[in-house]
């Protein structure tokens, strides 16, 4: 009996230590912050290549995702204008305008849209992959973050513009700049092109990004061409 009690005591002690280790290894939980997102349509009187749907700011709702998530690795920002319904993606009432009229290099498939096209989209800056906490940026400080702009084209196919030079060395990252702070950290950011390329008579610098055709789950099916993009996005919490 005594030996059984000793064994039970040892089991309890080991279980407590195991629980403490798991809590320590887990680290702080992920924090999700709803944000208001505004996409500019023009800059310097010239149209941008990624614009709003002219319906005003995007806010976090049941069918539109507009959040910053932060954990010990850093922060990610995302705007999603579609949602899950009965196990499938469904479009919300909001869209994002894409203009892929400035192709820098062709790919294995043609440009999937013609001219300015409003589409369901998912825009994300993966600053956590660069070890950047967006809330810890100070006023005027910028960081370059990988990310992607995904859209659901009129042909029913999914596409993604890559901002990850780890995968495609010639493409540009997203530039995240803190515009103002409060007692809890940065509260307003701008997201802009990380490139400095000028095309034609447009004074707005552009980034260079690779277009990919993907399946609904994000798996790459084909690599498309390279495109010049300009955009100016404001995020506020």
Give the integer Cα–Cα distance in Å for 23 and 93: 41
Tell me if 150 is assigned to some domain: yes
- Are 156 and 165 in contact by the 8 Å Cβ rule? The answer is no
Tell me if 221 is assigned to some domain: yes
- Are 143 and 130 in contact by the 8 Å Cβ rule? The answer is yes
Q: How many Cβ atoms from other residues are within 10 Å of residue 205's Cβ? A: 17
Listed in sequence order, the residues at least 6 apart from 225 whose beta carbon sits closer than 8 Å to its beta carbon are 103, 104, 105, 106, 107, 111, 210, 211
Structure tokens at 47: 């149209």
pLDDT tens by residue, the chain, 237 residues = 444 444 434 333 333 333 333 333 455 689 999 999 999 999 999 999 999 999 999 999 999 999 999 999 999 999 999 999 999 999 999 999 999 999 999 999 999 999 999 999 999 999 999 999 999 999 999 999 999 999 999 999 999 999 999 999 999 999 999 999 999 999 999 999 999 999 999 999 999 999 999 999 999 999 999 999 999 999 999
Q: How many Cβ atoms from other residues are within 10 Å of residue 42's Cβ? A: 11
214 has which bridge partners? Answer: 158, 220
Tell me if 92 is assigned to some domain: yes
Tell me if 23 is assigned to some domain: no
Tell me if 126 is assigned to some domain: yes
Give the integer Cα–Cα distance in Å for 138 and 129: 19
Structure tokens at 108: 């294995």
Domain containing 137 equals: 29-236
Give the integer Cα–Cα distance in Å for 39 and 103: 22
Tell me if 89 is assigned to some domain: yes
Tell me if 135 is assigned to some domain: yes
Phi and psi at 22, nearest 5°, equal -65, -40
pTM of the model: 0.87
H/E stretch holding 167 reads none
Task: Count how many domains the chain has.
Answer: 1
Tell me if 16 is assigned to some domain: no
Per-residue confidence (pLDDT) for residue 137, from 0 to 100: 98
């Amino acid at each position: 009996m005594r030996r059984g009690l000793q064994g039970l005591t040892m089991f309890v002690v080991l279980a407590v230590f195991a629980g403490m280790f798991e809590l320590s290894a887990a680290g702080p939980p992920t924090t999700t912050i709803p944000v208001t997102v505004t996409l500019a349509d023009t800059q310097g009187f010239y149209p941008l290549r990624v614009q709003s749907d002219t319906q005003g700011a995007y806010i976090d709702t049941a069918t539109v995702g507009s959040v910053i998530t932060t954990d010990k690795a850093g922060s990610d920002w995302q705007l999603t204008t579609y949602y899950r319904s009965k196990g499938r993606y469904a479009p919300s009432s909001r869209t994002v305008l894409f203009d892929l009229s400035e192709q820098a290099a062709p790919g294995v498939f043609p440009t999937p849209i013609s001219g300015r096209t409003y589409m369901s989209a998912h825009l994300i800056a993966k600053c956590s992959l660069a070890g950047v906490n967006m809330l810890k940026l100070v006023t005027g400080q910028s960081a370059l973050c990988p990310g992607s702009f995904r859209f659901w084209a009129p042909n029913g196919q999914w596409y993604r513009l890559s901002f990850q030079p780890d995968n495609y060395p010639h493409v540009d990252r997203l530039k995240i700049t803190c515009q103002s702070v409060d007692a809890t950290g940065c509260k307003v950011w701008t997201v802009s092109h990380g490139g400095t390329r000028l095309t034609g008579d447009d004074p707005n610098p552009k980034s260079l990004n690779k277009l990919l055709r993907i399946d609904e789950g994000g798996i790459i099916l084909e690599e498309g061409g390279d495109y010049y993009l300009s955009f100016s996005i404001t995020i506020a919490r």
